[in-house]
Amino acid sequence: MRFLYAQDSQDARSDSTLAALPAPADSVQATTEVPTQEQTPFERVFLKDDKFMVVIGVVFIVWIGILAFLFRTDRKIAALEAALDERDALNDV
């Protein structure tokens, strides 16, 4: 009995603690139906399926960034190779 009582009171305490905390601003947005303007088509795409499209967008941006880096490195290598070709051509003369 004592065990049950102790647990009950602990639950009550933690509940009241939670209730006393101010809710974070973003949780209000996430959990309530705030009447807003109609979504633009862009918003409709990105907000559907629990904002899954945003994740795809982020992964896509990361991938494109890495690709851009790969291409830039290639251009530097090509410039280095061209400089070496030029040097070797001069040495052969």
Partner 1 sequence: MTDSMTIAPVNVRRYRQVRNIVAVWLTAVVLGAFMLDIPKMVMLEHTARNMYFHVPMWFAMLAAAGIGGYHAARYLKTGALVHDLRSREAARLGVLFGALGLATGILWARFTWYEAAGIWWNFDPKQTMAAVGLLIYGAYFVLRSSLEDPEKRARLSAVYHLFAAVTLPFLLYVIPRQFAVSLHPGAEGNPAFSEITYWKMRLVLYPAFIGFIALLWVLYTQRVRIALAYYRLHGETDDEN
Which of the residues 8 through 67 are near partner 1 (CB under 8 A)? 52, 55-56, 59-60, 63-64, 67
Beta strand extents in 1-93 (DSSP E only): none
Give how many residues touch partner 1 by CB under 8 A.
18
Is the CB of residue 55 less than 8 Å from the CB of residue 47?
no
CB of residue 84 to partner 1, shortest distance in Å: 5
Which CB atom, from 23 or from 47, has the smaller least distance to partner 1?
47
Please say whether the beta carbons of 8 and 15 come within 8 A.
no
Q: How far is the CB of 71 from partner 1 (least distance, A)?
A: 8
Side-chain half-sphere exposure of 50, counting CA atoms within 13 A: 1
Residue with tokens 């830039």: 72
Pick between residue 3 and residue 71 the one whose CB is nearest to partner 1.
71
